[in-house]
Amino acid sequence: MLKEAALDTGLLEAFETSASRVALSREALDRRLLLCLYGLGTNAGLKRVAGATPDVSYDELLHVHRRFIHAPALREACARVANATLSIRNAAVWGDAGTACASDSTKFGAWDRNLMTEMPATAAEVS
Mean pLDDT of 85-109: 66
Out of 26-30, 96-100, 110-114, the most confident range is: 26-30
pLDDT band with cut points at 50, 70 and 90 for residue 127: very low
DSSP state, residue 112? T
Tell me, yes or no, if the pTM score tops 0.75.
no
Average pLDDT value for residue range 98-113: 57
**φ, ψ for residue 62 (rounded to 5)?**
-65, -40
50: pLDDT strictly greater than 90: yes
Task: Give me the mean pLDDT over the 32-51 stretch.
Answer: 94
Please provide the average confidence, as pLDDT, over all residues in the chain: 81
* pLDDT top residue among 97 and 29: 29
122 pLDDT higher than 60: no
d(CA 68, CA 89): 30
Neighbours of 118 (CB within 10 A): 15
CB crowding 3-17: b at 16 or more within 10 Å, else e? eebbeebebbebbeb
- SS3 letters across 31-79: HHHHHHHHHHHCCCCHHHHHHHCCCCCHHHHHHHHHHHCCHHHHHHHHH
Least confident of 22-31, 72-81, 118-127: 118-127
Q: Residue 63 above 90 pLDDT?
A: yes
Largest CA distance in the chain: 48
Q: What CA–CA distance (Å, rounded) separates 28 from 55? A: 11
Is residue 46 packed enough to be buried (19+ CB in 10 Å), middle (13-18) or exposed (0-12)?
Answer: buried
Residue bearing the bigger pLDDT, 124 or 30: 30
